[in-house]
Amino acid sequence: MIEWPKDRLTRFEVARIIGARALQISLGAPLLIKTESSDPIEIAEEEFRKIKIPMTIKRPMPDGSKEVVDIKKAIKNWLEENPN
């Protein structure tokens, strides 16, 4: 069985993280950065780029267990590999 490294994110996880954080922001969650933007998606993307996302990722594994991802390290690795 091939496992995805715990310090890496898939593009689907990145989309889910930003979408979930944008939803939290739109529902009134406090912002973790200072920004002039009022668009929840832009704010969530900026928080992601500044590694300020307050979430835990638990990946379901084929055997039914769950693996916890180090989100700060995973985001840092994502940003290094995808500098756009």
| Percent of the chain with pLDDT strictly greater than 70 | 96
Identify the CATH class of 11-81: alpha beta
pLDDT above 90 for 29: yes
| pLDDT category of residue 1 using cuts at 50, 70 and 90 | low
Asked if the model's pLDDT at residue 18 lies above 90, the reply is yes
Report the pLDDT value the prediction gives residue 11, as an integer from 0 to 100.
92
Q: Write b or e for each residue in 29-63: b if 16 or more Cβ atoms lie within 10 A of its Cβ, otherwise e.
A: eeebeeeeeeebeebbbbbbeeeebeeebeeeeee
